[in-house]
Amino acid sequence: MRPPSVDALSRSLSDIDLPSPLLVEAARTAIGNNDPDSARVEAVKLQRALLGPAINATGVLLHTNLGRAPLDYQQAPQATNLEFDLSTGNRGSRNDHVANLICKLGGAEAALVVNNCSAAVTLVLAALARNRAVAVSRGELVEIGGGFRVPDVMAESGAQLIEVGTTNRTRVADYQAAHRLHDTALLLKVHPSNYKISGFTEEASIGSLSVVGPPVVADLGSGLIDEACHWLRDGKPSWLRDEPAVKQTLEAGADLVTFSCDKLFGGPQAGIIAGRKDLVAACASHPLMRAFRPGALVLSALQQTALAYLRRDGDAIPFWRMAQTSVIELEARAEALGVGSPVRTMSMTGGGSLPGEEFPSAGVAIDGDVSDALRNAEVPVIARVRDHSTVLDLRTVNPDDDALVAKAVASSI
């Protein structure tokens, strides 16, 4: 029996929301495998391999694999004043719109937006310390997700790494000795945002390092902008007690800070360099800045997030809205789902932030492991499996998606 034509088979898949070339690809794959009946399966595979929506029911607020901080953002299809100065009619800077807001929030003289925090650190090192020494504590030579390590980033920037202190104890005298011996261009402090060292430990404070001589750069990573948390209804939560903030780090004497925007800041993926005006200007004029600059969509979403902070409206930022939701409200939603068994659970920030910190949450539990079925729902639902049950933590689920979660659970059991 002759197989069907590629054209006829691909047209039979027209109800699947894919452009014709991808439906043709699915048909060809199925025919090539001598299994024309599998064409629909192949088309669905192609569809699900595309970037698309998913429901985060893991309880991890900043799930790196699920896009970290969720965004509530849309942009009209029209031109913007990205690099146009409306007051003069001349060319403007794409950086200034958002950077000025970041300065107001963090108390910095100047700020620069790049495409992530690694780019921010790389640019600082390349612009201010190429072919010169930079002192870093041995306890802060971190590795972030994907195998990216501080020593590797430093090597690529052209700076020379000078390790000081020990894994668990580093003193101001260690930095002073490194500066005397190597004429260090910078003192770099890297916040260990994805691990903890406890016990017999010591580290040099930003204030104590600020008098050593070279500029002090603090890579804060997580992006908490101000420890006062004025944008939250109930003020600073206990799980943020040990997290350094941008504003206070600059006030303590740091010359520059770098941080991510898609973690505790709750915005799109971007990185910020903020602090002394002359140092930021040196970074802005470096050739790498052209490669590291973000596009208009990122800058617009970041501006929207910064404006919410200035309005002290934490509920306008999805991350902080999730974080502030009461357990009582989550329990009520779990009961209303009408599927599974309501349970208390624990949420965490994730995204390489606040290691070991958890806070109470609630959701539903399903007997057995139904995670595969949930992932294959019309809108994939990502849950976690624990003690032979599938747990869906509602803290990280938008309330508007509760009906989709209930439907996915009902079809999986």
Q: Looking at the structure, do residues 284 and 404 belong to the same domain, yes or no? A: no
- Alpha-carbon Rg for the chain in angstroms: 25
Residue 246 is predicted with a pLDDT of: 97
Q: Residue type at 413? A: I
CATH of the domain at 279: 3.40.640.10
Cα(174)–Cα(202) distance, integer angstroms: 12
Residue 263 is encoded by which pair of tokens?
């973690």
Residues whose CB is less than 8 angstroms from the CB of residue 19 and which lie 6 or more positions away in sequence, other chains included: none
The two beta strands, 133-137 and 110-114, are unpaired
Instruction: List the one residue out of 241, 219, 222 whose CA is nearest residue 64.
Output: 222
Using DSSP, state whether 227 is helix, strand or coil. coil
Q: Looking at the structure, do residues 187 and 290 belong to the same domain, yes or no? A: yes
335 in any annotated domain: yes
205 in any annotated domain: yes
Residue 147 is predicted with a pLDDT of: 64
Report H helices in 293-384.
Answer: 296-310, 318-324, 327-337, 371-375
Q: Looking at the structure, do residues 226 and 187 belong to the same domain, yes or no? A: yes
Residue 383 is encoded by which pair of tokens?
């849950």
Residue 42 is predicted with a pLDDT of: 97
Cα(220)–Cα(332) distance, integer angstroms: 37
Using DSSP, state whether 58 is helix, strand or coil. coil
Domain end among 313, 343, 377:
313
Residue 160 is predicted with a pLDDT of: 94
Cα(215)–Cα(304) distance, integer angstroms: 31
Residue 316: CB atoms within 10 A of its CB come to: 17
The two beta strands, 160-164 and 271-275, are unpaired
Q: Looking at the structure, do residues 154 and 231 belong to the same domain, yes or no? A: yes
Q: Looking at the structure, do residues 273 and 408 belong to the same domain, yes or no? A: no
47 in any annotated domain: no
Is residue 379 within 8 Å of 408, Cβ to Cβ?
A: yes
The two beta strands, 216-221 and 186-190, are parallel
Residue 198 is predicted with a pLDDT of: 72
Site of tokens 């603090």: 218
Using DSSP, state whether 167 is helix, strand or coil. coil
* Phi, psi of 411, deg, nearest 5: -80, -10
Cα(104)–Cα(309) distance, integer angstroms: 10
Helices 277-284 and 117-129: crossing angle in degrees, nearest 10, is 100
73 in any annotated domain: no
Using DSSP, state whether 374 is helix, strand or coil. helix
Cα(110)–Cα(408) distance, integer angstroms: 48
Query: How many domains are contained in the chain?
Result: 2
Assign residue 48 a region (left: φ > 0; alpha: ψ between -120 and 50; beta: otherwise). Answer: alpha
Whole-model pTM? 0.92
CATH of the domain at 404: 3.90.1150.180
Residue 195: CB atoms within 10 A of its CB come to: 10
Parent domain of 259: 96-313
Q: Looking at the structure, do residues 250 and 344 belong to the same domain, yes or no? A: no
Is residue 367 within 8 Å of 343, Cβ to Cβ?
A: no
Q: Looking at the structure, do residues 308 and 332 belong to the same domain, yes or no? A: no
Residue 12 is predicted with a pLDDT of: 95
41 in any annotated domain: no
Helices 150-157 and 117-129: crossing angle in degrees, nearest 10, is 50
12 in any annotated domain: no
401 in any annotated domain: yes
Q: Looking at the structure, do residues 355 and 264 belong to the same domain, yes or no? A: no
* Phi, psi of 23, deg, nearest 5: -65, -40
Residue 192 is predicted with a pLDDT of: 79
Q: Looking at the structure, do residues 331 and 296 belong to the same domain, yes or no? A: no
Distances (CA, A) of 359 to 167, 238, 243, 319, 376: 29, 9, 15, 14, 29
207 in any annotated domain: yes
pLDDT per residue rounded down to tens, the chain (413 residues): 677 899 999 999 999 999 999 999 999 999 999 999 999 999 999 999 999 999 999 999 999 999 999 998 888 899 999 999 999 999 999 999 999 999 999 999 999 999 999 999 999 999 999 999 999 999 888 876 666 788 888 888 999 999 999 988 999 999 999 999 999 999 999 987 666 777 787 889 999 999 999 999 999 988 999 999 999 998 999 999 889 999 999 999 999 999 999 999 999 999 999 999 999 999 999 999 999 999 999 999 999 999 999 999 999 999 999 999 999 999 999 999 999 999 999 999 988 788 778 999 999 999 999 999 999 999 999 999 998 999 999 999 999 999 999 999 999 88
Is residue 126 within 8 Å of 158, Cβ to Cβ?
A: yes
Is residue 336 within 8 Å of 402, Cβ to Cβ?
A: yes
Q: Looking at the structure, do residues 279 and 332 belong to the same domain, yes or no? A: no
Q: Looking at the structure, do residues 304 and 204 belong to the same domain, yes or no? A: yes
Residue 331 is predicted with a pLDDT of: 98
Residue 341: CB atoms within 10 A of its CB come to: 11
Distances (CA, A) of 130 to 122, 148, 159, 173, 392: 10, 20, 5, 24, 48
Q: Looking at the structure, do residues 304 and 367 belong to the same domain, yes or no? A: no
